[in-house]
Structure 1
Amino acid sequence: MLPKDKMDKNFFQRRFNWSPNMAWKKILFSAVSALVIGTVIGLTMIRLFASSEIAPTEVTQVPTVDKDDLQIEEKDNPTDQTEQITIPQLQGFVVQLGIFSDEVNAEMMIQELEITDITPIVWQQDGEYFVFGGFSSSEEKAKEVASKLEAQGVESYVKKWEAAEKQVAFNEADTEWVQNFIQLLQTSIEQGNISQEEWKKMGETEVNSEHLTLLINSIQSEVAAINTSEQANLFLLSIWHQLGQIE
């Protein structure tokens, strides 16, 4: 017969089907299960936190521009607008030295001429190149210039010269300058003389148009070289021609 303590132990093992090895297995299984579950939960939480920190991609919508709004912006920017200005009919009397169908030949004639005090200009019109050695609002004064040229051995003749009135579109920011320029040119031609101070001021004004910038550069360079009335009148003819070339 077994002692009482062993009998109780055997009874307990048989009653609950328990053994020391089975206890360790259950403990080990519980620990591994807890570790696996904890790892899975941890990874899941990390993914949740990581995804919450990433800002969703925003879709930027391109605003549509209404045609009326665009027109308002254009009106607010006068440098992009143009205005029609009338270039009035101008006329006078030129001293013509020659006419060519080729600009090169016209320039060659000027280089070959031995003329003192003046430099003839080339005027392009209707596919032809005219060489002018003088200009005046008065036919008599134009003939006086022709006589001086003939005394230097240069053949010439006087004829009336005019340009028809036309409309030209200029930048709105430059319209005041253009109007003042046309008025000064017209007055100078009619009076037959120029005010160098007024023309110098015209050449000191800043403009936006490229064509007008070239015109201003010509004014600056040519006005400074004027010493005689013949030079002054040829200056007016040159500036008149450049104005007529602007379309």
Structure 2
Amino acid sequence: MVKDNKITVWMGGKKTTLKRDDHPDERYSIKEFNKDYSAATLEEANGDEVPTFVRRHSEDSNNEHYFGRKSRFSSFKPIILASISAIIIGSVLGFFMLNMFVDIDKGLSQQNYTIPTTVEDDEEATKEDDDKETASDEVISAAEIQSMNAFVLQAGKFGDEANANEMKDKFNQAGFSAMIWLEGNFYYVLAGIANSKNKANQLANELSENQLEVFVKNWGTESSEIKLTEDEISWLKAYNKQWTESLASVNKNENLSEDGWANIVNTIPDDSKNISEFTTFLKKEISELVKANKWQEQRLLLNLWYQFNLLVN
């Protein structure tokens, strides 16, 4: 078999094939090509960059070797491979860590887990939650309170409470009843009420005959809203109806209905926290109704109107 008489070297940065001499059976060493190799190296050195040569083996059956330029990529290959590996490993680990924390957070949120510092704190927190739930259940809607108007007998208007009390006592000592209505910075002394101006004038004349001067005034309160439970709203409607009927009874010179007011008191909602102060006052006033005269009944209606106005405003 005839051996190949060619050998490949790199010269000037290019792969070059050279012929052997007339000794086909002699194996040539690397030294035979030192001249060419040196020339190739010198040629490259005249450029911008000196190339790196590595020892390579030919692909033929003789397994001969030659020197060729080292690939620039091979210098950076370990760094590039390490960087790519680090990125892949980091991405995989990051993905698993993210899923792990998401699962943990999801599990905690589903459990709604809290750690009380002490038993007392735990009990207090439970109590606050119960109070919030109770308040949420009780306050259902806002009740609209309509404006109210009537004619009153005004005995005076004072900037000082002591003077207002002195005028009120003057009416009480004369056998009539009066009350004080605080509005803004003034104290109004009111001695009677009626739902018509004619009736109010008749009452004013009666007082005048007893040397008690009053003025007939159109008195009113504005509409408003108050948050109440359904039971409280229903009860207030019944209360307003009873109060209006009582005012009509005054115009007819009739006494107030004891049974009607007793029914209002007896149907006050249990645990009516929103109106408890007002209902306490109502019970006290109605307890005196059985022995009240017509002037005291009018004072009672005035007092209830005033306290009701404080409640809704």
1:97 matched residue in structure 2: 155
Cα distance in 2 for residues equivalent to 1:119 and 1:186: 20
Overall identity of the aligned pairs, in %? 22
The equivalent residue for 1:244 is 309
Answer yes or no: is 1:232 the counterpart of 2:290: no
**Are the equivalent residues in 1 in contact too, given 2:153–2:192 (CA < 8 A)?**
yes
Given the superposition, is the C-alpha separation of residues 218 and 86 from structure 1 closer, same or farther in structure 2, using an over 3 Å criterion?
farther
Change (3 A) 1:82 1:121: farther
1:25-67 Cα offsets, whole Å, 9 max, x none, are xxxxxxxxxxxxxxxxxxxxxxxxxxxxxxxxxxxx6479xxx
Matched, 1:181 2:239: yes
Q: Out of 207, 211, 221, which is 1:153 matched to?
A: 211
CA distance in structure 2 between the aligned counterparts of 1:221 and 1:122, rounded to whole angstroms = 20
The answer to whether the Cα contact below 8 Å between 2:148 and 2:222 also exists between their aligned partners in 1 is: yes
Q: Which of structures 1 and 2 has the bigger CA Rg?
A: 2
Deviation at 1:91, TM superposition (A): 1.0
Aligned with 1:131: secondary structure?
strand
Aligned to 1:134: 192
Match of 1:143 among 186, 193, 201: 201
Give the TM-score of the pair, scaled to structure 1: 0.62
Partner amino acid, structure 2, of 1:165: S
Q: Is the 8 A contact 2:157 2:186 kept in 1?
A: yes
Residue 281 (structure 2) aligned to one of 198, 202, 215: 215
1:109 aligned partner: 167
Match of 2:9 in 1: none
Question: Is it true that 1:204 corresponds to 2:266 in the alignment?
Answer: yes
CA distance, structure 2, for counterparts of residue 240 and residue 126 of structure 1: 17
- Per-residue deviation at 1:231? 3.0
Pair 225,150 (structure 1): closer, same or farther in 2 beyond 3 Å: same
Q: Please, which runs of 5 or more residues in structure 2 have no aligned partner?
A: 1-112, 117-128
Q: CA deviation at 1:88?
A: 1.3
Q: Is the 8 A contact 1:137 1:190 kept in 2?
A: yes
Deviations 1:82-105 (A, max 9, x none): 531122121111111011112232
2:137 to 65, 69, 78: 78
- Write out per-residue CA displacement over residues 128-187 of structure 1, whole angstroms, 9 at most, x where no aligned residue: 111011110011111111111111111111111111211122344422211211222233
Choose between structure 1 and 2 for higher RCO, CA contacts under 8 A separated by at least 6 residues. Answer: 1
Give the 3 Å change call, closer, same or farther, for CA 154–83 of structure 1 in structure 2.
same
Indicate the SS of the match to 2:291: coil
**CA distance change for structure 1 residues 197 and 224 in 2, over 3 Å: closer, same or farther?**
same
Whether contact under 8 Å (2:179, 2:189) holds in the other structure is: yes
Assess if the C-alpha contact under 8 Å between 2:278 and 2:307 holds in 1.
Answer: no
> Alpha carbon RMSD of aligned pairs, Å?
2.9
* Structure 1 unmatched ranges of 5 or more: 1-60, 65-69
Matched letter for residue 204 of structure 1:
N
- Measured after TM superposition, the shift of residue 239 of structure 1 is 0.7
Q: Which amino acid aligns with 1:99?
A: K
d(CA) in 2 for partners of 1:76, 1:167? 18
Please tell me whether the aligned partners of residues 84 and 168 of structure 1 are also in contact (alpha carbons under 8 angstroms).
yes
Shift of 1:124: 1.1
TM-score (norm 2): 0.50
Cα pair 1:93 1:138 within 8 Å, conserved = yes
Residue 54 of structure 2 aligns with which residue?
Answer: none
Q: Which whole-Å CA distance do the structure 2 matches of 1:105 and 1:76 have between them?
A: 43
- Between the two proteins, the alignment pairs up a number of residues equal to 179
